[in-house]
């Protein structure tokens, strides 16, 4: 264990009242493995190193890996169009939208949750009750008949609906339900033994409930704020250690061969001056144009998640929280210490 890093994590935890698990690994050496807060506040069940957490959009990486596996097998290509991959009707979507565009958030299609229009994710479920959202096709009525938001390939615009479509492509190409495909071809292959796509109404043991804190000190769980079961755009549950296992499996070519692993980790579009996007993964550069980290993150009501691999350091960091915020602050503190220590 790294005493300095543990101290930094504990100090930030006290400042932001972080609830969740923190795992930092240098190659095979564990530097930090700490948990805080309650997985179940009502029964005062504490989070621990084996607690499962929702990771929201953090699992877009799983979707991208699944698509790359199908490309590797020759079942689809990155240049395949929507109409070539799916039989669903998208009458307003441009015919040139490809798998590559969907993977890189450059398709221009409408999103089912448009942050330019809606502030509150819970607004989605007024017309579309969350308890009816169990399969990927259940999302389609929320966006499939809407007009394009921008021109194909014109700009990066983070898009959950694009990943719903990618999940449907996985289903149609493989013949498996999306969550079953990921379980078989990613979680099982990587030996992520505690992870899965679980329904809110049938959670396995030691799964953290997500908590939404109100300004007056009251709180509620997030079971009425999110779909019953997660899908291709977010909502899987993992342990912090399982996420570190995923990084190892990906980087050791257990999930994809070297060519397609590199394709996934290649910069495909620029987001801002130092931030870029590969396939299902964020890429951040240093000021001298080197890769600082490959990372994923996710935010939902009652969920905050950050995880990164720092190639120059061979260090993996995973922060899972069952609150709406807190993971970013822990991640920032760890990253600052890692980068400072590396320059000394």
Say which CATH number the domain at 230 has. 3.40.710.10
pLDDT at residue 266, rounded to an integer: 97
pLDDT at residue 344, rounded to an integer: 39
pTM over 0.85: yes
Number of domains in the chain: 1
Nearest 5°: CA angle at 61, between 57 and 51?
65
pLDDT at residue 127, rounded to an integer: 67
Burial environment of residue 137 by CB neighbours within 10 A (0 to 12, 13 to 18, 19 or more): middle
Residues 6+ apart with CB under 8 A from 37: 17, 18, 19, 20, 46, 47, 322, 323
Selection from 281, 69, 283 nearest residue 186 by Cα: 69
At 209, which helix (H) or strand (E)?
Answer: none
Rg (CA), the chain: 19
CB 160 within 8 A of CB 103: no
Range of the domain at 19: 3-343
Rounded Cα–Cα distance for residues 184 and 198 (Å): 15
Tens of pLDDT, residue by residue, the chain (344 residues): 788 999 999 999 999 999 999 999 998 899 999 999 999 999 999 999 999 999 999 999 999 999 999 999 999 999 999 999 998 889 899 999 999 999 999 999 999 876 666 556 666 666 666 666 789 999 998 899 999 999 999 999 999 999 999 999 999 999 999 999 999 999 999 999 999 999 999 999 999 999 999 999 999 999 988 999 999 999 999 999 999 999 999 999 999 999 999 999 999 999 998 899 999 999 999 888 899 999 999 999 999 999 999 999 999 999 999 999 999 999 999 999 998 766 43
Residues 6+ apart with CB under 8 A from 272: none
pLDDT at residue 240, rounded to an integer: 98
**Phi, psi (degrees; rounded to nearest 5) at 28:** -105, 10
CA distances from 101 to 38, 98, 248 (A): 40, 5, 27
Question: Which DSSP symbol is given to 67?
Answer: H
- Estimate to the nearest angstrom the gap between the alpha carbon of 278 and the chain centroid: 13
Rounded Cα–Cα distance for residues 316 and 285 (Å): 16
pLDDT at residue 289, rounded to an integer: 87
């Amino acid at each position: 264990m790294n005493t300095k890093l543990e101290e930094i994590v504990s100090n930030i935890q006290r400042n932001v009242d972080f609830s969740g698990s923190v795992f930092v690994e240098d190659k095979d050496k564990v530097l930090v493995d700490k948990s805080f807060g309650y997985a179940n506040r009502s029964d005062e069940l504490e989070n621990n190193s084996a607690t499962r957490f929702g990771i929201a959009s953090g699992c877009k990486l799983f979707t991208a890996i699944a698509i790359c596996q199908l490309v590797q097998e020759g079942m689809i290509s990155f240049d395949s169009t929507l109409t070539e991959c799916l039989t669903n009707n998208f009458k307003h979507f441009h015919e040139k939208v490809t798998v590559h565009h969907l993977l890189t958030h450059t398709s221009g299609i409408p999103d089912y949750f448009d942050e330019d229009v809606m502030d509150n994710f819970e607004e989605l479920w007024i017309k579309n009750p969350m308890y009816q959202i169990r399969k990927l096709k259940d999302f389609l009525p929320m966006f499939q008949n809407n007009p394009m938001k921008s021109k194909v390939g014109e700009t990066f615009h983070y898009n959950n609906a694009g990943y719903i479509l990618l999940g449907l492509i996985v289903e149609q190409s493989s013949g498996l339900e999306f969550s079953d495909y990921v379980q078989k071809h990613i979680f099982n292959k990587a030996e992520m033994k505690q992870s899965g796509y679980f329904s809110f109404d049938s959670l396995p043991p030691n799964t953290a409930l997500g908590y939404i804190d109100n300004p007056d000190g009251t709180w509620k769980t997030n079971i009425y704020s999110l779909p019953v079961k997660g899908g291709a755009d977010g909502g899987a549950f993992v342990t912090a250690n399982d996420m570190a296992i995923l990084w190892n499996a990906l980087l050791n070519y257990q999930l994809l061969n070297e060519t397609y692993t590199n394709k996934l980790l290649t910069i495909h579009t620029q987001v801002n001056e130092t931030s870029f996007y590969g396939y299902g993964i964020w890429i951040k550069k240093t000021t001298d144009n080197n890769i600082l980290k490959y990372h994923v993150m996710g935010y939902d009501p009652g969920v905050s998640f950050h995880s990164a691999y720092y190639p120059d350091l061979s260090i993996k960091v995973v922060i899972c929280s069952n609150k709406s915020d807190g993971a970013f602050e822990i991640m920032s503190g760890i990253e600052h210490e890692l980068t400072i220590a590396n320059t000394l």
